[in-house]
Amino acid sequence: MEIRNYINGAFTPPQSKLWIDNYNPSNGVIYGKIPNSNQSDVEAAYQAAAQSFKTWSKTSAEKRSKILLKISDLIEKHSSLFAEAESKDNGKPITLAKTVDIPRAASNFRFFGNAITQFYSESHSNTSAQVINYTLRQPIGVVGCISPWNLPLYLFTWKIAPAIAAGNCVVAKPSEVTPVTAYLLGDICNKAGLPPGVLNIVHGLGSTTGQAIVTHPNIKAISFTGGTATGASIAKTAAPMFKKLSLELGGKNPNIIFADCDYQTMINTTVKSSFANQGQICLCGSRIFVERSIYNKFKTDFIAKVKALKIGLPSDKTSNIGAVVSKTHLIKIQDYIIIAKAEKHTILLGGNKVNVKNNEDGYYFEPTIIEVNSNDCRINQEEIFGPVVSIMPFDTDEEALNMANDVKYGLSATVWTNNLKRSMYFSEHLQAGIIWINTWMTRDLRTPFGGVKASGVGREGGFEALRFFTEQKNICIKY
């Protein structure tokens, strides 16, 4: 499969003439090639976007909305095609792609297609001074959207949909590891009547294509989701150019379990919050803290439930765990098992690569549970972003809260308790942008989404995303 850039509504080979191999994680075989676009490719995408901006920014919100809703319908219509492509490209189980990734990509377009018709700005009247102030929210111009490989189309559309809904034109880059569904989206946009140049997709490495987007002098805003180190490097480049930045970065989220919780719901959800998508979700609860009185019971039950998960081909409907995304990522996960052993933790379950029959070169890894001897260790402080969780007991609320907060990240946190006072206390004091009480990853697209500390800057979701993708201008009239 040869993937091409999508510029000005057409599929074009890269001017760089450079290509990158695309691997199938389920068997380690190269099954396609994608452009490694350079500055000229990004410039062509920018020019198309800048040209389109002249009309798209003046197109009514109703018309923009209609096109976004049409894109959403078409993703739904072709959901099997998208789900199969996503599962093959990323290694995630087909069931997950079908029930989460692709429906959510369609929802992103539907949500922002509707939201833009309800978006509003402020007006402040002062009748005694005979003055009225009102605020315009104008699209920024050409914006850059850069997304990661873990939830490829889901996170790509999470940025693109609000950007174009708000009247901007976009130069976007999906992760080079998972480019296929973004490529398929181009055709859907054409079919839905999105004018050429409103969305431009350039493929390639972060260090070349991504960097060319970030350094482009006229791409005025960057919405980025990815690792914390990459986010820091983007911020360093973009800040002196006075670009607007939204950074959704890494996490090392605590999952705090009290004895007074609804045990069955907690344990079933904890299996998901630990290992869904092979643990490659920024919101996964990778540090599990359990109240000591139920620690041994939890340990036994959790191990039994995780043991029952089926590791297998992503295309097999019965697989619970597919392949991790790439060989590099598999090696990173294996390195953390070596670190865990060196730190003298106990590996309660897993810790090894899995050979799936006839696919021995695939990137499969056992769901792994590590009993750590302290929160102050690399296993608990560094983001592994794979099917690896740590567990440890705690004795008091204060101890649990301190360990939960004692990490450089602050994306999300989950607390399991039926004690209202305790849940309110933890909600107030946990250092994270998103808190779940007695649930995990229950999303409402109207809510603000983002992290604190090294997990990011800014919020996306709902009107927050539309605010990010618009510039405010205040007008004061004396009458």
- Given the rule CB under 6 A, which residues bind ligand NDP? 146-150, 155, 173, 175-177, 205-207, 210-211, 214, 225-227, 230, 233-234, 248-251, 282, 383, 385, 411, 451, 455-456
Q: How far is the CB of 303 from ligand NDP (least distance, A)?
A: 26
User: Quick one: 205 or 349, whose CB is closer to ligand NDP?
Assistant: 205
First to last CA, the chain: 64
Q: What are phi and psi of 112, to 5 degrees?
A: -75, -25
Class of residue 288 by CB neighbours under 10 A (exposed 0-12, middle 13-18, buried 19+): buried
| Cα(432)–Cα(280) distance, integer angstroms | 19
Q: How far is the CB of 301 from ligand NDP (least distance, A)?
A: 28
Tell me the chain's radius of gyration from C-alpha atoms: 23
Token readout for 438 is: 């007695």
User: Quick one: 8 or 253, whose CB is closer to ligand NDP?
Assistant: 253
Q: How far is the CB of 247 from ligand NDP (least distance, A)?
A: 8
Q: How far is the CB of 430 from ligand NDP (least distance, A)?
A: 16
Q: How far is the CB of 433 from ligand NDP (least distance, A)?
A: 9
Find the helix packing angle between 79-90 and 152-165, rounded to 10°.
Answer: 120
Give SS3 for 71: helix
User: Quick one: 74 or 432, whose CB is closer to ligand NDP?
Assistant: 432
Q: Of 86, 145, 169, 248, which is the active-site residue? A: 248
User: Quick one: 211 or 414, whose CB is closer to ligand NDP?
Assistant: 211
Q: How far is the CB of 276 from ligand NDP (least distance, A)?
A: 13
User: Quick one: 201 or 261, whose CB is closer to ligand NDP?
Assistant: 201
Could you give the angle at the alpha carbon of 425 between the alpha carbons of 419 and 430, nearest 5°?
120
Give 414's strand partners. 255, 436
Asked if 310 and 321 count as a contact pair (C-beta separation under 8 A), the reply is yes
> Is 282 considered catalytic here?
yes
User: Quick one: 9 or 227, whose CB is closer to ligand NDP?
Assistant: 227
List C-alpha distances in Å: 252 to 191, 337, 368.
Answer: 40, 17, 16
Token readout for 259 is: 């004895």
The pairs formed by 263-266 with CB atoms below 8 angstroms and a separation of 24 or more are: 263/294, 265/438, 266/416, 266/438
User: Quick one: 115 or 212, whose CB is closer to ligand NDP?
Assistant: 212
What is residue 300's DSSP assignment?
A: H
Give 136's strand partners. 473
Pairing mode of beta strands 287-291, 10-12: unpaired
> Is 476 considered catalytic here?
no
Q: How far is the CB of 274 from ligand NDP (least distance, A)?
A: 15
Give SS3 for 404: helix
Asked if 359 and 313 count as a contact pair (C-beta separation under 8 A), the reply is yes
Nearest to 61 by CA among 134, 203, 167, 183: 167
Q: Of 169, 261, 282, 284, which is the active-site residue? A: 282
Pairing mode of beta strands 19-24, 353-356: unpaired
Asked if 250 and 227 count as a contact pair (C-beta separation under 8 A), the reply is yes
Q: How far is the CB of 249 from ligand NDP (least distance, A)?
A: 5
User: Quick one: 164 or 214, whose CB is closer to ligand NDP?
Assistant: 214
Active site residues: 248, 282
